[in-house]
Structure 1
Amino acid sequence: MKITASLIDKLIRLRMGETLPSSAIRGEWVEELLRDGVLISCSHGSRRSIMASSPQDLEQSLKCIDERLGNLDKMKYLLSSEASRSEQATETGNSKLVPVRSCPGFPVNSYEPITCCLNGRQIIINPEEGSFVFIADWQSFSVPKDVLVVNIENMENFRLVRQQQALFLSMFPGKQILFVSRYPQSSDLRSWLQTVSNQYVHFGDFDLAGINIFLTEFHKYLGERAVFLIPQDIEGRLQHGSSERYNAQYQRFKNLSSDIPSLQRLINIINKYHRCYDQEGYIER
């Protein structure tokens, strides 16, 4: 059973003696309550409605169906306040009554020290090789405006930024770079990017699907300060890329185009050779 704020509100209304249209709540469990006489079906011409026979019987029966419905008022609070798992456990003993993301945020990485700010305090992003930093309180995280933010789509590339340092130094000489990733998948990274003014570079796979991700999930929201990373040697690499991947994506993205000249050129090259190239190929071994 999916527990929503709307469902809880309807059950509270029934508990208070209100009558609801029979279409307001449906399910096998509703039919069970009707058979047991906990809910009563009433006819009004062509329309039907339901009401509770007694508030006490309704609450007791709901608790037997699903423990999350044992205390409607408490459940309404937990849903409306987006309570953490610890709050849920304190209130009910069950930390999983309401689905809550226990690990919001995104990881960051760098191959040189970058002074940032987290919760009003200075923090140096300079992970040891083989590690990275996870920013959970991303709403209070900020970086200097002249730092270039590079989003790396694939986790292997993100972990091994030092093994791609030559690529980044050649493309962005003299720039401090903060590498970010949207792992685990969520909108937190994009939401954070919308709050800062830093230039954004998208480093993903060189295929039609990867370009579509950039256009629809990042450029759409960040505008002209968002660019797609296109290495100078990409055409040579695409000549020996994966035709299988290209063929698998073609039907879905065959009409993909962009008004960004450099990106349209990349699309043309991909379609010219009928091949794709994954960004992991830029990791130096």
Structure 2
Amino acid sequence: MAISVSIQALISGEQVAGSKLSNKLLDELMAEGLLSVVTHGSRKSYRARDVEALKRYLIDKDESYRMLEVSSFVSRASLAAETGNSKLMTVRSCPGFPVNSYEPISCSLCDKDFVVNPHEGSFVFIDNWQQFFIPQDIVVVGIENMENFRRIRQQKKLFESVLGNMPLLFVSRYPQSTDLRNWLMGIPNRYVHFGDFDLAGIHIFLTEFQKYLGDRASFLIPSDIEQRLTQGSATRYNIQYNKFHTLRCTDTKLQSLIELIMNYHKCYDQEGYIIK
């Protein structure tokens, strides 16, 4: 499949007129929150909110988009050394993912002892994730929103109420890539996904995590989520409805959450659980 000029322009960070994109793809990208609207009088153009997130979505959607990626073994340094220009092609200069914790977690990195214990106001980025290992009793909590990930201490009561006193390692797939998922697939630990309480967020969990991790993966569901949904957003629910209204799963607890969202016709952002 040849990648259209309009998609290449979006990946390059440029604005693209709505008339240059298929209505179906435009609706999908808007529902996923991947595009922002730029108005020019009565005309609309679109720009990628996060180029890497858009690229990852397209690649997951269709293998043909994999040409958007360049091997992670090619570095900007090697390109610059050979050509004098590190911008000749898109290269992942920063593989890996960030980790966080509010108590020391003894791990192993590159066959050496490594303690994850970031000072409040900081977190740790794991570059060589292929050689990063954690004890099997650690529960890995994946957090979709970066604000929630940065402010885990202000959500400690939530995590304790749902997960008890288990030692927790918090992870984020920012910048968005498959590195985090590949790491999770290589370890035996339990994985808990903490994302927005909407149909798109549940779809992300089912297709990008549970599909690969099976019964080791679960979705974090607070005890007060029904009450929170009554105060949620109907606008985003309506935007997502056409694409995700047939969403179903075999997990009874998660299916109950889907039914609550459908019943109230509302979504709730995970940021609402940050104690100010």
Check whether TM > 0.5: yes
User: What SS does structure 2 have at the residue aligned with 1:144?
Assistant: coil
- Note the alpha carbon deviations across 1:47-92, whole angstroms, 9 max, x for none: xxxxxxxxxxxxxxxxxxxxxxxxxxxxxxxx88943222222223
Q: Take 1:283 and 1:219, find their aligned partners in 2: how far apart are those partners?
A: 25
- Note the alpha carbon deviations across 1:25-59, whole angstroms, 9 max, x for none: xxxxxxxxxxxxxxxxxxxxxxxxxxxxxxxxxxx
Identity of aligned residues (%): 63
Instruction: Identify which of 75, 90, 95 aligns with 2:86.
Output: 95
Q: Which residues of structure 1 form unaligned runs of 5+?
A: 3-78
Q: Take 2:262 and 2:149, find their aligned partners in 1: how far apart are those partners?
A: 27
1:240 shift after superposition: 1.4
Instruction: Identify which of 250, 253, 266 aligns with 1:262.
Output: 253
How do residues 93-132 of structure 1 correspond to structure 2 at under 5 angstroms? 93-132=84-123
- Larger gyration radius, structure 1 or structure 2: 1
Q: Take 2:161 and 2:254, find their aligned partners in 1: how far apart are those partners?
A: 19
TM norm structure 1: 0.71
Q: Take 1:241 and 1:174, find their aligned partners in 2: how far apart are those partners?
A: 29
Question: Bigger shift: 173-182 or 85-94?
Answer: 85-94
Q: Take 1:82 and 1:133, find their aligned partners in 2: how far apart are those partners?
A: 22
2:56 maps to what in 1? none
2:153 maps to what in 1? 162
User: Are positions 1:231 and 2:236 aligned together?
Assistant: no
CA contact (8 A) 2:229 2:264 kept: yes
1:33 maps to what in 2? none
2:20 maps to what in 1? none
CA contact (8 A) 2:71 2:91 kept: no
CA 99–231 in structure 1, closer or farther in 2 if over 3 Å, else same: same
Structure with greater contact order relative to length (CA < 8 Å, sep ≥ 6): 2
1:44 maps to what in 2? none
CA 283–100 in structure 1, closer or farther in 2 if over 3 Å, else same: same
Q: Take 2:71 and 2:262, find their aligned partners in 1: how far apart are those partners?
A: 49
